[in-house]
Amino acid sequence: MTQADLAEIVGVSVTYISSIERGISFPRGEVLVGILNALNVSSDFVFCDVVNGSLKQKSCLLYDMIQCLPPREQVKILEVVELLVSQRQKYCF
């Protein structure tokens, strides 16, 4: 999708979309929702690195990433995660 296509769908200028893309501007609520809907992405996905409450979303993304791997590889990854969690739990008390 081009900036012009997105701008038209959302109802803003191409210049504004460009400034958002370059980090110069941040869209107000209604424009942000329009952009997310136009791009068919969830706010959890977009903000998963900055919003504490989206750890569940990150977990789901991890699941999606490993789901396409062969079962043996999935098991290896899960074993690593379990090891990291168990090591962390040792130092929580």
Domain ranges of the chain: 3-41, 52-90
- Could you please report the per-residue DSSP string of the chain? --HHHHHHHHTS-HHHHHHHHTTS----HHHHHHHHHHHT--HHHHHTTT-GGGHHHHHHHHHHHHHTS-HHHHHHHHHHHHHHHHHHHHT--
User: 36-69 pLDDT, tens per residue?
Assistant: 999 998 887 777 666 666 667 778 888 888 999 9
Over the stretch 16-40, which tens digit does the pLDDT of each residue have? 999 999 999 999 999 999 999 999 9
Average pLDDT over residues 64-87: 91
Query: 16, 13, 35: which is closest to 24 by C-alpha?
Result: 16
Can you give the pTM of this predicted structure? Answer: 0.55
